[in-house]
Amino acid sequence: MSNLLHEVSRHLNDNVIIQLSKQLGAQDPNQVKRASQGISELLLNAIANNANHSQRGGGLFGAIEKDHDGGILGDLMNVLGGQKKVQNSSTMNGTGIVNHLLGKRQLEAAQIIQQMSGLDIFKSGVLMQLIAPVVMGVVGQTRKSNGLDLGGLAKVLMGGVQKQSGSQGGGLSGAFGKLLDMDGDGSMMDDLLNIGMKILKK
């Protein structure tokens, strides 16, 4: 089965990256591309952690089954650009997805993405929310097309993430691992990040 990170990258092609750059007001699409790659890896790791967790896995699987079938991937440019509306608003609720997966660790995540890509921390945070539905769409499409239950999905997620992480072998995966191991207590800086995201989205 194709690697999930590769599949996300395939959908986040150069045309999509240019569009996202315009939406963010980012001057350098290469920064947005690097940030998108890091965000995709981070979110897939977070989804894998959730799927492998006895208490959180069921809720995650239910959300994927209900809200994320991969339908947005067929016309991603128009969906992300707002020209095409989706019937299920939860499908594109990037804020809710990121809140569920990262909780109070969003600021730290945006800091890591900024350091690896050079993209402004607030733009990194907004990009995380824009990309989250795409990542969930790829996961949901994989679940649907292969008829996977929670256990099967967890195996695919862990296998895909480990394969990609192993091939990179650098500090990025380690940084994500430490981030996802945090207790999620957070600080008032998380509120500041959310305010920055709202300003950029206007």
The pLDDT tens digits of the residues spanning 148-160 come to 888 888 888 877 5
**DSSP H/E element including 200:** helix 188-201
Asked whether the predicted pLDDT for residue 162 surpasses 90, the reply is: no
Residue whose entry in the numeric block shows the structure tokens 């991937």: 73
Residues 6+ apart with CB under 8 A from 97: 129, 132, 133, 136
Q: What is the pLDDT of residue 181?
A: 65
168: pLDDT confidence band, cut at 50, 70 and 90? Answer: very low
Q: What is the pLDDT of residue 1?
A: 32
| Residues constituting the chain | 202
Least confident of 16-25, 77-86, 189-198: 189-198
Q: Where are the alpha helices (DSSP H) in 4-148?
A: 4-11, 14-24, 29-51, 57-67, 76-81, 94-102, 106-117, 121-146
Please calculate the CA angle 66-70-76 and round it to the nearest 5 degrees: 130
How many domains in the chain? 1
CA dihedral defined by 133, 123, 194, 108, rounded to 10 degrees? 90
pLDDT tens per residue, range 22-52: 999 999 999 999 999 999 999 998 898 888 7
Which range marks the domain in which residue 64 is found?
4-201
Residue whose entry in the numeric block shows the structure tokens 């990121």: 98
Overall average pLDDT of the 95-110 stretch: 90
pTM over 0.85: no
Structure tokens at 193: 């990040």
Q: What is the pLDDT of residue 155?
A: 85
